[in-house]
């Protein structure tokens, strides 16, 4: 990892601390609104608790890649003006977040943070991120580094017609995580579940990430393993009580629509469902649109310098963490 170099006068870059995270969430909100209002988006609805929980997970698992830029505060102490977070999963480096407060943009702070967390020149890591199509400046910076937009990721939202949801493929059944492998002695059940998730992730995403599954479990999302003939695992998926769908992985793209359809049928959120579905997962996109979901806002852009996953059969749970 590169050492941070001096940038804007008065700005200091250091590792993030837990107490910085609410301020990071505020920088995130301000940065999104700073350009979002220019393209007709409504102000961001603050939901700090889930965001701070995600930031703490990123900080806990990849603390050396979670940095904040701070200035002295008028009343003493420090004020967070920007932050970045990247994660390393096997040989994939993924930029989770990079946000600079609008008052501090165009001063080199963002590039300083990015340079500090990019893999070193001799690192063989494949590099990726997910960006906003409405943000051309960031997309240009990443593209110059070879991290080029490859696949649109559509935010599909709404309340689907239950009768039109895609059904699980013939012979596939859904097994709740808590029931998967029960009856085994000791902790063999949880170990078996972890092995299943790791294998499905390696097949669809290109790497296993058990630390992220542990975070999803702690956040209260419902999880299912999908079993085919003879009990062979062919996919998994998560859905939250609030209607957030994903992540989900399938052994083949033809299985993904049914998995997503099942997840959309197991909870009744107070509001709408929301899922980030890659455009490469054509059958899943078509099935969810047919069921009544709609494409919301500008697409996100999945970017990489070298490919690392099959996004025809994988749906992320968040754009910050594949």
Q: How far apart are CA 126 and CA 258, in angstroms?
A: 31
11-52 pLDDT tens trace: 999 999 999 999 999 999 999 887 767 776 777 766 679 999
> Using CB atoms within 10 A of its CB, is residue 59 exposed (0-12), middle (13-18) or buried (19+)?
buried
pTM for the full model? 0.92
In the chain, where does DSSP find H-type helix?
A: 21-36, 48-61, 109-117, 136-144, 188-204, 210-218, 256-265, 282-290
Residue range 135-144, pLDDT digits in tens? 888 899 999 9
Q: For each of the domains in the chain, give its residue range(s) and CATH number, in order of start.
A: 12-124 (3.40.630.30), 156-301+308-315 (3.40.630.90)
Q: Is 68 helix (H, G, I), strand (E, B) or coil?
A: strand
Cβ count within 10 A of residue 286 = 12
Non-local CB neighbours of 20 within 8 Å, separated by 6+ positions? 68, 80, 83
Q: How far is CA 191 from the centre of its chain?
A: 24
In contact, 49 and 57? CB cutoff 8 Å: no
pLDDT at 281 over 50: yes
Structure tokens at 32: 């999104």
pLDDT at position 248 is 98
Let me know: does 249 contact 205? Beta carbons within 8 Å. yes
Residue with tokens 């609805």: 45
What the block records as the tokens of 212 is: 């992220």
- Give the separation between CA 22 and CA 53, rounded to whole angstroms: 10
CB distance 259 to 235 below 8 Å: yes
pLDDT grade for 4, boundaries at 50, 70 and 90:
very low
The alpha-carbon radius of gyration of the chain (Å, integer) is 20
| Local confidence band at 259 (pLDDT 50, 70, 90 cut-offs) | very high
Residue 177: φ, ψ to 5°: -50, -45
Asked if 157 and 276 count as a contact pair (C-beta separation under 8 A), the reply is no
Give pLDDT tens digits for 205-243.
999 999 999 999 999 899 999 999 889 999 999 999 999
Instruction: Return mean pLDDT, the chain.
Output: 92
How open is the CA angle 177-182-183, to the nearest 5 degrees? 175
The model's pLDDT over 144-202, given as tens digits with 9 standing for 90+, comes to 999 999 999 999 999 999 999 999 999 999 999 988 765 544 556 788 999 999 999 99
* Residues 6+ positions from 296 with CB-CB distance below 8 Å: 155, 156, 157, 274
Question: Which backbone phi and psi does 158 adopt, to 5 degrees?
Answer: 135, -175
Q: Which residue has the tokens 């992730």?
A: 201
Q: What sections of 37-187 are H helices per DSSP?
A: 48-61, 109-117, 136-144
Q: What is the pLDDT of residue 208?
A: 97
| Token pair 């749970």 in the structure block, residue | 317
């Amino acid at each position: 990892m590169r050492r941070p170099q001096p940038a804007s006068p008065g700005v200091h870059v250091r590792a993030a601390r837990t107490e910085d995270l609410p301020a990071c969430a505020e920088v995130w909100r301000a940065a999104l609104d700073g350009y979002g209002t220019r393209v007709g988006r409504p102000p961001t609805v603050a939901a700090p608790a889930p965001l701070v929980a995600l930031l703490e997970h990123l900080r806990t698992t990849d603390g050396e890649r979670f940095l904040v830029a701070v200035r002295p505060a008028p009343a003493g102490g420090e004020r967070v003006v920007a932050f970045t977070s990247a994660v390393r999963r096997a040989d994939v480096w993924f930029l989770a977040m990079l946000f600079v407060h609008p008052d501090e943009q165009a001063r080199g702070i963002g590039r300083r943070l990015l340079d500090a967390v990019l893999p070193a020149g001799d690192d063989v890591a494949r590099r990726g991120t997910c960006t906003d199509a409405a943000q051309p400046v960031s997309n240009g910076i990443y593209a110059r580094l070879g991290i080029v937009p490859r696949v649109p990721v559509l935010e599909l939202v709404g309340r689907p017609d239950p009768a039109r949801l895609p059904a699980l493929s013939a012979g596939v059944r859904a097994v709740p995580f808590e029931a998967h492998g029960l009856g085994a002695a000791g902790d063999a059940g949880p170990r078996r579940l972890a092995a299943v998730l790791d294998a499905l992730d390696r097949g669809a995403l290109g790497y296993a990430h058990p630390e992220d599954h542990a975070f999803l479990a702690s956040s209260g999302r419902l999880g299912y393993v999908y079993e085919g003939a003879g009990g062979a695992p062919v996919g998994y998926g998560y859905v939250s009580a609030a209607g957030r769908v994903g992540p989900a992985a399938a052994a083949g793209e033809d299985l993904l629509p049914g998995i997503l359809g099942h997840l959309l049928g197991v909870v009744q959120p107070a509001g709408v469902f929301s899922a980030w579905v890659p455009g490469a997962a054509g059958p899943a996109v078509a099935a969810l649109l047919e069921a009544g979901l709609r494409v919301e806002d500008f697409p996100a852009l999945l970017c990489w310098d070298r490919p690392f996953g099959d996004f025809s059969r994988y749906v992320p749970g968040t754009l910050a963490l594949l």
